[in-house]
C-alpha cells in the first residue's frame, strides 16, 4: 500500500471508534484550517508475530524510517517512532506492552488471547487496523484494566489506531495549544483528566493535550458494554537550540 492509502485506512478506522475526532476535524476545517497530523499511535503486545516491528513493517515499506526507541518503565511499555521523508506525513508511533513485566495472572490472560491468533495474522498488510482477533470475556478485560490500561485496551480493541495527533504548529487561527484547548472546551469537548489540559512545556520542546476518550459499545463474550475507546490528541513542537524543530517524544506525562 502507498503512504496515502495507509493513512486513509487508519483515519477511516479511527473515526469509526472516535466520532469526536471527525467532529473536531470538521470544526477546525470550517475555520479555514488545513489540518496536518503530527503523529499517529498504534498499540500492541510484545508477543511473537504481533510485536512493534510487525506493526511497523507496512509503514517502513511505504517510506517511514525508524528513529529513536523509548522506554516507559512505569507503564511497562516500549515504544519507537518512525518518520517519513515527506515532512507533511505524520510520524508513526508504536508502543508495545512488555507482557513479562506484568503479574503472572495478567501474563496468563494475555497468553490466552494471543493463543487465539490465526496463523500468519502478524503478516497481514492491514494489521494496524485489523481489529480484535480474539474472544474476550468482560471479566478478563476488567482484571487487565485493574493492572494496566494498555493491556486492557489492546485486549478490548485489538489492532487499531489509539490516537491521531494534530500538529498545532500548522494551525493559523490559534496562537498556541492553550487557545486551542480553550476553544474546544467551550464547545463541550472534555480533556483527559489523567493528563490535565496540557502536558509538557516549551523547555521539553513538546506540549500535548488530549481529549477524554469516547465511550463506544464493545461486544464481549458475555455482554455488550460501553467502554473508553480512543482520544484525539494535539501536539505543539518547539525548536532545538540549533533551530531545527524537535521531532522526538518525551518519556514523562503520557
| Domain regions of the chain by residue span | 3-237
Most distant pair of Cα atoms in the chain: their distance: 56
**HSE of 250 in the Cβ direction (CA atoms, 13 Å)?**
18
CATH number, span 3-237: 3.10.180.50
The rounded distance, in Å, linking the Cα atoms of 28 and 124 is 34
pLDDT per residue as tens digits for the range 151-188? 999 999 999 999 999 999 999 999 999 999 999 999 99
**Which grid coordinates belong to 54?**
510487525
pLDDT per residue as tens digits for the range 1-29? 899 999 999 999 999 999 999 999 999 99
Q: According to the model, what pLDDT value does residue 197 have?
A: 78
pTM for the model stands at: 0.94
pLDDT per residue as tens digits for the range 73-131? 899 999 999 999 999 999 999 999 999 999 999 999 999 999 999 999 999 999 999 99
Give the C-alpha distances (Å, rounded to integers) separating 167 from 112, 185, 241: 38, 18, 20
Q: Enumerate helices (H) and strands (E) in the chain, giving the number of each.
A: 7, 9
pLDDT per residue as tens digits for the range 188-226? 999 875 545 788 889 999 999 999 998 999 999 999 999
Is the distance from CB of 235 to CB of 166 less than 8 angstroms? yes
Q: Which of 110, 93, 134 is nearest to 46 (CA)?
A: 110
Amino acid at each position: 500500500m502507498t503512504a496515502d492509502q495507509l493513512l486513509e485506512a487508519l483515519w477511516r478506522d479511527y473515526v469509526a471508534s472516535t466520532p469526536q475526532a471527525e467532529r473536531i476535524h470538521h470544526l477546525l476545517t470550517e475555520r479555514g484550517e488545513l489540518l496536518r497530523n503530527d503523529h499517529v499511535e498504534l498499540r500492541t503486545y510484545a508477543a511473537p508475530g504481533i510485536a512493534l516491528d510487525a506493526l511497523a513493517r507496512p509503514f517502513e515499506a511505504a517510506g517511514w524510517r525508524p528513529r529513536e526507541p523509548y522506554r516507559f518503565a512505569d507503564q511497562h511499555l516500549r515504544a519507537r517512532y518512525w518518520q517519513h521523508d515527506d515532512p507533511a506525513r505524520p510520524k508513526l508511533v508504536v508502543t508495545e506492552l512488555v507482557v513479562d513485566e506484568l503479574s503472572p495472572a495478567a501474563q496468563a490472560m494475555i497468553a490466552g488471547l494471543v493463543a487465539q491468533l490465526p496463523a500468519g495474522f502478524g503478516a497481514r498488510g492491514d494489521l494496524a487496523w485489523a481489529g480484535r482477533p480474539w474472544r474476550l470475556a468482560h471479566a478478563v478485560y476488567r482484571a487487565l484494566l485493574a493492572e494496566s490500561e494498555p493491556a486492557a485496551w489492546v485486549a478490548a480493541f485489538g489492532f487499531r489506531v489509539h490516537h491521531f495527533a494534530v500538529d498545532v504548529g500548522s494551525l493559523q487561527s490559534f496562537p498556541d495549544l492553550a487557545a486551542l484547548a480553550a476553544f474546544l472546551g467551550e464547545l463541550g469537548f472534555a480533556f483527559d483528566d489523567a493528563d490535565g489540559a496540557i502536558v509538557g512545556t516549551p523547555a521539553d520542546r513538546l506540549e500535548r493535550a488530549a481529549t477524554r476518550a469516547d465511550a463506544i459499545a464493545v461486544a464481549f463474550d458475555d455482554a455488550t458494554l460501553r467502554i473508553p475507546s480512543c482520544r484525539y490528541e494535539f501536539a505543539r513542537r518547539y525548536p532545538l537550540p540549533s533551530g531545527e524543530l524537535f521531532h522526538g517524544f518525551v518519556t514523562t506525562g503520557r
